[in-house]
Structure 1
Amino acid sequence: MERQRKPRLNQKFKEVPVSLDWLPPNDFSLALKKPNQQRQATTYKLEFSQIHWQSFIPAILLLFVVLAGQIWLSDVNFRPFPAETALLEVVLNHKAGYPLRETATTLEPELGLTSPTRLILEIDGQTQWDQSYQPQGKDGRVVAFEQTQFDPGEHHLRLTMFDRPGQLEGQILFDELVLFENHGILDLSFSDAPLQSDPVAGRKLFFESSLEASASCHVCHSIEPGEVVVGPSLAGVATRAAERVPGLNAEDYLRESILHPDAYVVEGFPAGQMLPDLGKKLSSDQIDNLVAFLLTLK
């Protein structure tokens, strides 16, 4: 035997007339309050005004003008530059202080520079343009692109670069007599040459590599000015290293300090504190990279 409970209607809705018309919520509420008043559902009617064909005349005229212009332009000969001209393109991807590929220079690499790079183009002894480019991005690299148009024929081109602070004599990137034909294009592209030593790898070695037990370079040496841990701070060591020992430049002094740490002891610090056998624990490439990193600490 099953027993079902029938739903009970609330007493206040007992006498409300039933309607199949849809009512918005506000009208439905009023209907409950006034059950004897029949309300009509709210309806909406959308009417469109009559549109005459004359309304499309401006749009048709505009479309005709656009199509006529496209037809006319499609019959015009396109010339990227004037009929009688030659073009020179200069592209430079460079980090200040780094050597360039296939470019002779007597300057030693200077790593860690953030100075702007300046390019000067001379054509037949006249300065065509003189531009400076600020380093961009985390690695401080300069990316330059220049185009120059001039008359065809024989021209002497000279491109000079300055990329170091206080540099008086620039590095000659290109200095030749070139015969340009009509519409001839000369592309001069320059990029940095790979270094035998990698200062980025040297920095990683300085901070992360385990040289003995759990010790690494930064355990004993800080690179913050005036901060002494065990050994002297290495902030500015690339500058001081060139003046430590007569006859040794900065690179040779730093290498000597790694291989033979007691050959020169900084005043105020005792001898015998630095590991004496780093030359055996580190490969020659690792030592080169470590020296390259220390040379950036100016």
Structure 2
Amino acid sequence: MRAIQITEFGGPEVLTLTELPDPEPGPRELLVEVTRAGINYADTHQAENSYLAPATLPMVPGSEVAGRTADGRRIVALTTGGGYAEKAVVDPNTAYDIPEGVTDEAALALVVQGATAWVLLRKSARMQPGESVVVHAAAGGVGTLAVQLARLFGAGRVIAVASSADKRDLALDLGADAVVDSAAPDMTAALIEANGGRRVDVVLDMVGGRVTDESVRALAPFGRLAFYGMASRELPSPVKLPNLMRFSTTVAGMWLPHVWMLPGDVMGQAMAEMFTLVADGDLRTVTGGVHPLAQAREAHEALRSRGTIGKLLLDPTA
């Protein structure tokens, strides 16, 4: 089968198209003919071995696929790797049947980015109806869904932060009440101004560095910042615990694999709710591009440039 393989760590240049043997599923695994593979920002960290979970070489990257099983089921699934390929092996416990009315592309937008947005709002930030919600990188895969889910969950005001006029227009089209330029020289002041002069209740942040520091300073008493990525590759300042007490604020981290450690089927609940919202036309997924498998390198370059919108996908059939 054709697959993208990494044999040395580095930037997008290490992603190489090659021929590999078909993967062999174990007794409790499913073999999937991949129709689409999802690309995540975390994949760019994995390629350079700067992700939370250390990588080993050689490897086929890719943590999510959509396709068909041998018995004809159409599924979307998370993997422990191997997604950038024509075939992949998945655990049935992380596979979800795609319902009628939901495309493979939409399902892939939900299984990582959508679930991340859902968990950030429901679990990490515990957003309450009427609260103000800031979404950084609002035109990205998580951001486009978080803007909509915050609105659907009853946010009083949704503030979208994005780097270009086109991206900010997209966020407004998706339901944001106000937008902020990500290059604002003082993010604290910009967020407060966008919230009508009031400090904000919830911030979803995957940028890091200065943006995180200044977003924390924009929180209202009992406000929460949920941190789930570091696209800037810049560390924010260490959180000083007395400051959290002084302003009654919370800074939380979130890594999606920990959802499986929670009691109950939280991931299944999130997927079922979002599948219904998409099928009913209440939640819109945004596809930023479908690249042939051989163009994985170009897709990573585009993602790292932060010039993309929505969900990026690979087409192993092309």
Same fold flag (TM > 0.5): no
Structure with bigger helix share is 2
Relative contact order, higher structure (CA 8 A, sep 6+): 2
| Greater gyration radius | 1
Structure with bigger strand share is 2
Instruction: Normalising by structure 1, report the TM-score.
Output: 0.24
